[in-house]
Structures are given as structure tokens and as C-alpha cells.
Amino acid sequence: MKLTRPHQPLRNSSFNSKHRPLCTCKSFISDNDEEKETQFIDTLKKIVRGNQSWKLALNDAVLSTPLKSHHIEKVLIQTLDDCRLALRFFNFLGLHKNFNHSTASFCILIHGLVQSNLFWPASSLLQTLLLPGLNPKAVFDAFLDCYEKCRFSSSLGFDLLINSYVQNKRVSDAVFIFRLMKKNNLFPEVRTLNGVLNALVKIRQFGLVLELFDEIVIVGILPDIYMHTAVMRSLCELKDFVRAKEMICYMDSAGCDLNVVMYNILIHGLCKSQRAFEAVEVKNSLTERGLTADVVTYCTLVLGLCKVQEFEVGVGLMNEMIELGFAPSEAAVSGLVEGLRRKGKIEDAFNLVNKVGRVGVVPNLFVYNALINSLCKDRRFNEAEFLFNKMGPKGLSPNDVTYSILIDSLCRRGEMDIAVCFLRKMADQGINATIYPYNSLISGHCKLGNLSAAESFFDEMIDKGLTPTVITYTSLISGYCNVGELCKAFRLYHEMTGKGIAPNTYTFTALISGLCQANIMAKAIELFDEMVAHNVMPNEVTYNVMIEGHCREGNMVKAFELLGEMPGKGLLADSYTYRALITGLCSAGRVSEAKEFVDGLHREHHKLNEMCYSALLHGYCKDGRLNDALGACREMVERGVDMDLVCYAVLIDGSLKQSDTRRYFRLLKEMHDQGLRPDNVIYTSMIDAKSKAGNLRGAFRLWDVMVGEGCVPNVVTYTALVNGLCRAGCMDKAELLCKEMLASSSLPNQITYGRFLDHLTKEGNMEKAVQLHNAMLEGLLANTVTYNILIHGFCKMGKFQEATELLCGMMDNGVLPDCITYSTLIYEYCRRGSLHEALKLWDSMLNQGLKPDTIAYNFLIYGCCIRGELAKAFELRDDMIRRGMKPNKFTHNALNHATCLK
């Protein structure tokens, strides 16, 4: 048989090869040269077996015949009794003579080395042979030809060929060689076949494993436990559990030495297919077969049960294995703890960690961090700290994630000092802080209004080379907006965008909220549009803030337009949205429309909460419609919403304002019957009602009851009593109460001092009023309202010069005048006949972006009328109507009177 082989270069560390033709052991030579060939080969054999130098001998002129492959093949065959010598000669020719050996030479030597148990050099030689990428069929044919002609007694050379293909991840070629061997009645060893089957399992050729196994059994090869294991894995991966169980039964009946490993494979397969309870049944059947479940069995089952969310059963198995003395694997413990945690069973997860810790098993750091995080979110801070403190002794080092979780938790509950201690501890342990703990600290301080501390941590973060993120900037922006520092907020916003950090939904929402709270709706609308233009999608909170802003401004049309936009954006309105709209309608005096809106929401099955209904109740009570409010309460309860303290507070306040004592006591009793006790809001309402009615004795009696029930009076409560005392002319007692207030934790605010200021101006005691106001300026308590009280007082006393000077003074002190400020002075100018000055002040008000109200229009229309400027008066009337305000009786009377005079 003639072997052919493509001419490809072959390189090896032991010899250099050139193009090497496939040759056979027998060459076609003439009869005349046969004797010379025989003599030449004998000479070569003597040189190989002799003691002289091969290099010198092969250079001798006697060896004039060029070396050919068939010469070497015959020498190798005749030297197989000393395979090491044959190998040395083979390598010598390649290294020193650049001889290109034939495939046959390789095969002869490989077979010979294997037969002499020299597997390592045979394997190395085989790797060299296969290196150029010979066709497996050609290699097999060469191996078979040499095997048959040289009559080797062992076929292990073929096993070596199969193993070589397996090692080189050419498993399909290994299968091909096996099938060629089978055709030629040659059979590899069982361990060789095991290698092939396991290699097929690794590359997930499960169908081929089963096919090959059937071929092995058919030819009479007796499979061992390892071969059955590979087949079992394949059946389980193919989810053919019927055949998998049949195989176990077959092995048992055939007397095979079954062990727990085979059952573990079946259990693993069932668990992987989410058939954990069947797997548990297999485990329970082990005792009947005289086998005992091992740690792998239990850990596999625990992980399988976790996969099907059966954590309680998993805990039971974990307890069982611990009682048997098995130490569960980290993966099993981690999987079970994480599963319990995700299911909200934090208590069980925490207890499991403690239990397995006693046998020396600790979940991995990821699970530990996740459990600490869950405990923190569940407000179980002591347990979280306990786990943290146990990490070190158990050989588990907290990392930056662990510290970040704890610092964030502390910041969220306002424990900033402890959070800072953890940050310093983190540094002491050599753990580099990331941006996350700093973001938490900055956010925590901002929420508490401690912006100086937030700025300090921001600077520290920059000094450490950490780059602020959008979260960092958004926290600070939100903090500034919450305290009305819009300039600083926008400066940070521009700094952030200047650095290429894109603002997100929360950034825009914080800025829009700040603008809405400051009643700068034009800028809020502009920013909302800019947000959409930047492809940053508003969320429910953004829409709620905008809707509330429009409602606060009284622009209910725009507010409801935004409500209509939300479904198209995939956003759902919630109780916060509805409450803002209900409040807006009620504030605009459209309580009946608010009620219709609430009824419509109920018909559409939207869920409303107590806050929505309390807004409606407040609207009714503000309009003096207490009976309607009580009717709305009955509907609210019928719709499944329980009355809370806020609802009762609104109703009690409404009944007090209407002096409906009977209703007031009935509401108090009803509240007590439901287990609710008045809070400081309700007590303050009652005290305020008594004070305004001049019943100061009753007000102080309620004060005593309030304190006796553990309700702490706040600044509003004190202000209500101060107001009552001032109205009664008891200024000394009012001042004493203020001193008592200063001694408590409730400091007087603008409203408290405003009561004093108002009373002093009404009494005409402007000197003392100015002194008090100057003190308020020093304490940063003066505001637009207090300035308006003073301006009104000076105007009332005819001291108009002092009043106009106050307008300049308030601007110098950073206090912005409002519509009332300008209206008061405009009226005074008009009354004095200074229409020109009144119009200048009017223009100044409009330039400041203030919208005049009906009273302001009426004052200026009145001034125009008395000066005979009817055209201007009617022009103002028309402008008033364009702005959505209706002229009232005062407007018509002024215009009619002036027209008649004309």
C-alpha cells in the first residue's frame, strides 16, 4: 500500500525538517540493485549500533549512496529491539543531516516506543507528526500499515493517537479514529474511551456521547463506572431523566459498583432542571441502596431548592447536613442566604449566617454585603453592625462596598457623625474611599440643610482625586434649592455641564422644584422644555412638581394639561399629583369642581389617600361649607379611606372657625373613639380659636391639657397665644411668653414677631415698631410681610416719606417687595393725587415680574378716575380682564362715578 502525504514543513526542537514525502517500508527498486541496498542498510545498521561517531561515519565516502526514507524505515524496524537507540538515530538525522523523515518512519518509531512503554517520547513524536495538520484518515492508514507490516503486538499506539487528538481538543477526530479502529477489529482501552466521552461532555456533544456509548457496548467492550458517569451526565444535560434512572437500575442489576457520585450527577441534573423535589426523593432513596448522601449531595440540593425559591426546605436540609457533621460549601450558604434575603426573610438569613458561622463557614463577601445592605434597608441597624463586626474574626475583610453600604445607611437616617467615623476608619484600614461614600455624606448633609458640611466633603473628595458624578452635583443642587439658594444651585449646574457631565432627570427635577417653590414659573417652564430638548425624560416627580407649581400660581388649565400629557409619556399620576390638583382647585375657590374631580377619579378606580381628601376637606372648610366637608368625609370612609389626624384637624379647625361647638366636641369624641389623640396641630387650632375669641383663660387651660398629654407646643402654638395677648392689649404678658419661648426649643419666627409688629403699628407706636423690626433684621427674621406691616403703619399715620424710604430699605436688605407692598404705596400716591408717581411705581412693579391683583388694579383705576384720566382707567380695566381677573363692584363704581362726572 502506498501512503501519500502533502508536502508540508515540519519543525521540532530535536531536528530540522524539510518537505517529507509519505513512504512505505517497502520501496520499488530493481533486482540488480537489491543486493547493494541490502549491503547499504546493513552498513547503516552497523553504524547505528557501533561505537564510532555517527557524524564521521555518515560523511565517509563509502556511503556514497544518498540516504532515502525507505533506508531509514528499514533501519528503524531492525533497531526496534532498542527503541531508545532508534529514537536517537531518528533525531540525529533530523538535527545534523536535515533529513526529512517519512510518515512511516514516525509511525514505526511511535509504535515501537509505545510497545516499550516509552509513552512520553512517543507522545512528543506524535505531536510533531500531527503538527502540520495531516488528515486523520491518512495518519490512521499510516499507523495501520506499519502496525500490520511490522506485526506489533500492542495496539496502544492507536490509543496514543486518540489521546493526542483529545488533548489537542480535536475530539471529533478522536471519535473518527475510534470508528476506523473498530472497522479493523482494533479496540482502544476503556480509559482511552473514557477520555473521549468526557471530552465530548465538556464540549456539550451529549448526543454523540450516547451514540458512541451504544457503539462501545455493541462491540463487546465492558463499560466501567467512569464511562457510565459520562453517559449519566449527558442524559441529565439532555433532560432525559427516564433513561438516566433506567441506567442506574441497569447498573445495579448488572452488579456494577454504584457509588454516591452517580446519584449526585442525577440529583444535579434534576436540580438544574428545577425538579428539586424529585432530587430530594433520589437523595432519600440512597439509604435503601446502602449509600449515604455526602456533602456534595446536600449542597447540590440546597442550591437546587434555591433555584425554585424553596428556601425554607433548603434551610431544613442545611440544618440536617450540619447535624451530620458536614460543613456546607460557601456557594450553598451564599445561595441560601441571598435567596432568603431577596424574599424578604431577613431574620432567617441573619440566623442562618450565625448558625453556619459556628461551624466555620462564612458566606462570600458579596452575599455578606448584600445581607448588611438589606438589614440596613429594613432598619435593623444593630444586626447589620453585628455582622460587620463579625467579619474580621471570621477572616472576611470588609471592602469599600461594605463601608459604602454602612455609611449610606447612616447618612439616610441622619447619623452623620457616625458615618464620618466610618469614613475615617475606612482610611485607617488602608481602603481607598470611592465616590459612593462621599456621595452619601454630601446627600445626607444636604437633606439636613447642613450645606457647609456638604461643601466641605465635596472639596475633600476633589482633593483626593475623585471625580464628582451627576449624583454628587444633583445632591448639592437639590440642597441649595431646598434652602432657596437658587443662584448657587444654577452655578453648580453650569459647572457640571461645563465639565461634560450630563444632567439627569433628578438634576432637572431638583432645579424645577426650586424654581416652583420660589414662584418663578416662567423659568421652571423654560427648564422643563430644555430638559425635554436634551432627551432627558421627565418622570412622575417632575410632572408632580410642575403641576403643583402651576396650581400654586392658580394656572389650573396648564396643570390639567400636564396631567393629560402623563399617560402619553408612559407615566402614571399618583395621589401626590391628585392632591396638588385638588388643593389648586380649592385655593382658586373652585371647591365644587374639586369634588367633581375626586368623584371622577373614584369612578375611574384611581386610589386616593387621606392627603387627597384632607385637601378637599380644607377647601370646604375654607369656604365655610362644613356640612359639605362632613359629607365628603362619609364618602371617603365608604370608599375605604380611613380618617386620620390631619382630616380631623381640618374638620375641627373648620368647626372652630364657625363657632360650631357641638360639632367640635362631637369630632373630638369620634376621634378619641377611634384611638386617635389630638396632636399639637389640633391643640394649636383650639388654642388659636380661643385666643381669637378673647377667651384667653380657656386658651391657657387647653395649653395645660396639651402639655399634660405630652404634646410639645411649637412656634405656631406660642404665636397663637401671643396674638391673643396682643389683641387683648396684654403686651407685657405677650413679651413674657416670648421669653419663655426663647428658653424652650421653639424660637420665635417672623409670624410671632409680626404679631407684635402689627399690634404696635395699629396702636401707632411706630418708634417701638421700628426698633422691633431692626432687631428682626439683625436676626434675619425680617421679611416682606413685616416690611408691609411697617409701610402700612406709616401710611396710616400719614408718614408717607418714611413709608417710601422703607421700600428702598427692604431692597437694600435683600427683601423683595410684593404686590401688597406696591399696592399700599400706589393707593397712598393716588389718594394724595400723585398719579404720575403711582404709575411709575406700577411700572416698577411690572418690571420686577410681579403680577398685580384685583386690589392693585382697583387702586390705580381709582387714582386715574379722581384725576380725570378715564382713558387710562378703562385701559387698566381691559388689561385686568386680559390677565384673567374680573372687575368687581369697586371697579365698576369708580368707573361709573368718573363717567358721570365727565
Phi, psi of 75 (to 5 degrees): -65, -40
Which grid coordinates are listed for 558? Answer: 396648564
Per-residue pLDDT tens digits for 281-302: 888 888 888 888 888 988 899 8
- Contact of 503 with 512, CB cutoff 8 Å: no
Question: How many helical (H) and strand (E) elements, i.e. helices and strands, does the chain have?
Answer: 50, 2
Q: How far is CA 451 from CA 140, 176, 343, 461, 491, in A?
A: 81, 76, 38, 15, 15
The helix or strand, by DSSP H or E, that contains position 15, with its residue range, turns out to be strand 15-16
CA contacts within 13 A on the Cβ side of 710: 1
Closest CA to 703 of 751, 740, 665, 747: 740
Between CA 684 and CA 541 the distance in angstroms is 32
CB contact set of 522 (below 8 Å; sequence gap of 6+): 849
Please, is 866 exposed, middle or buried when counting C-beta atoms within 10 Å of its C-beta (0-12, 13-18, 19+)?
middle
Positions in the chain short of pLDDT 50: 1-29, 61-62, 64
DSSP H stretches of helix in 254-380:
260-272, 276-284, 295-307, 311-323, 330-342, 346-357, 365-377
Closest CA to 361 of 402, 332, 399, 400: 332
- Contact of 288 with 317, CB cutoff 8 Å: no
CB contact set of 772 (below 8 Å; sequence gap of 6+): 753, 756, 757, 760
Which grid coordinates are listed for 800? Answer: 408717607
- What's the one-letter identity of residue 417? D
Grouping H, G, I as helix, E, B as strand and the rest as coil, residue 11 is strand
- What's the one-letter identity of residue 326? F
Which grid coordinates are listed for 257? Answer: 459498583
DSSP H stretches of helix in 151-259:
156-167, 171-183, 190-202, 206-218, 225-237, 241-253
Please, is 258 exposed, middle or buried when counting C-beta atoms within 10 Å of its C-beta (0-12, 13-18, 19+)?
middle
Which pLDDT value is given to residue 754? 66
Which pLDDT value is given to residue 4? 33
- Contact of 480 with 458, CB cutoff 8 Å: no
Please list, residue by residue across 8-21, b when 16 or more beta carbons sit within 10 angstroms of its beta carbon and e when fewer do.
eebebeebbbeebb
Between CA 337 and CA 120 the distance in angstroms is 49
Torsion sign (Cα): 414, 415, 420, 425:
negative
Tracing cell 373630638 back to the chain, one arrives at 668
Closest CA to 687 of 678, 700, 677, 669: 700
Q: At what angle do helices 470-482 and 451-463 cross, to 10 degrees?
A: 160
Closest CA to 425 of 397, 393, 459: 397
Closest CA to 46 of 35, 61, 58: 58
Which pLDDT value is given to residue 744? 65
Which pLDDT value is given to residue 745? 61
Between CA 75 and CA 83 the distance in angstroms is 11
Between CA 267 and CA 248 the distance in angstroms is 12
Q: At what angle do helices 381-391 and 346-357 cross, to 10 degrees?
A: 30
- Contact of 668 with 656, CB cutoff 8 Å: no
Which pLDDT value is given to residue 775? 66
Which pLDDT value is given to residue 5? 33
Report residue 134 CA to chain centroid gap: 55
Which pLDDT value is given to residue 8? 34
Closest CA to 752 of 775, 763, 766: 775
Between CA 69 and CA 407 the distance in angstroms is 79
Q: How far is CA 791 from CA 159, 549, 799, 801, in A?
A: 109, 30, 9, 10
Between CA 146 and CA 36 the distance in angstroms is 24
Between CA 386 and CA 364 the distance in angstroms is 17
Which pLDDT value is given to residue 581? 93
Phi, psi of 724 (to 5 degrees): -60, -45
SS (H, E, C) 723-735: HHHHHCCCHHHHH
Which pLDDT value is given to residue 546? 94
Report residue 514 CA to chain centroid gap: 26
Beta bridge partners of 16: 11
Of how many residues is the chain composed?
902
Grouping H, G, I as helix, E, B as strand and the rest as coil, residue 12 is strand
- Contact of 24 with 145, CB cutoff 8 Å: yes
Between CA 891 and CA 431 the distance in angstroms is 74
- Contact of 209 with 199, CB cutoff 8 Å: no
Which letter does DSSP use for residue 433 in this model? P
CB contact set of 596 (below 8 Å; sequence gap of 6+): none
Between CA 501 and CA 801 the distance in angstroms is 53
The helix or strand, by DSSP H or E, that contains position 16, with its residue range, turns out to be strand 15-16
Closest CA to 402 of 420, 421, 384, 381: 384
Phi, psi of 818 (to 5 degrees): -115, -170
Beta bridge partners of 15: 12
Closest CA to 423 of 395, 460, 376, 475: 460
DSSP H stretches of helix in 500-624:
505-517, 521-533, 540-553, 556-565, 575-587, 591-603, 610-622
Per-residue pLDDT tens digits for 110-138: 888 888 888 898 888 888 888 878 889 99
CA contacts within 13 A on the Cβ side of 415: 14
- What's the one-letter identity of residue 502? A
Which pLDDT value is given to residue 866? 80
Which pLDDT value is given to residue 596? 92
- Predicted TM-score (pTM) of this structure: 0.59
